[in-house]
Amino acid sequence: MTIACYIRDENVAQSIQEVLAEAGLDCEGFGSETALLRSMQRRRFSLILVDAGAESEAEQNILSWLNCHVRDFTPLVMMSDACSGDRVANMLDAGADEFIAKPVAAVELVARLRAMLRRNKRQTVGKIIEFGGYRLDMDHGTLTFQGALIELTAREFNIAWLLFSSSGQYLSRETISVAVWGVSSDIANRTIEQHVYMLRKKLQLSKSRGVIIRTGYAQGYRLEYLDDVSTAA
Q: What is the pLDDT along the chain (233 residues), one digit of tens a residue?
A: 789 999 888 898 999 999 999 999 999 999 887 788 778 777 788 899 988 776 666 666 666 766 665 445 678 898 888 777 777 887 777 677 888 988 899 999 999 999 888 876 544 445 788 888 999 998 788 999 999 999 999 889 999 998 998 888 888 888 888 778 766 666 566 788 899 999 999 999 998 889 999 998 888 899 998 864 444 44
| Cα 99 from Cα 94, distance rounded (Å) | 12
Tell me what pLDDT residue 46 has.
Answer: 87
- In 43-142, alpha helices (H): 57-68, 85-94, 106-119
Boundary residue ending a domain (101, 119, 137): 119
Q: Are 165 and 213 in contact (CB under 8 A)?
A: no
Q: Are 65 and 162 in contact (CB under 8 A)?
A: no
Report the CATH number that the domain containing residue 216 is assigned in CATH: 1.10.10.10
Task: Supply the range of the domain harboring residue 85.
Answer: 2-119
Tell me, yes or no, whether 133 and 46 share the same domain: no
Tell me, yes or no, whether 114 and 134 share the same domain: no
pTM across the whole model: 0.57
Tell me, yes or no, whether 86 and 194 share the same domain: no
Q: Report yes or no on 169 lying in a domain.
A: yes
When divided into structural domains, the chain yields a total of: 2
Tell me, yes or no, whether 205 and 163 share the same domain: yes
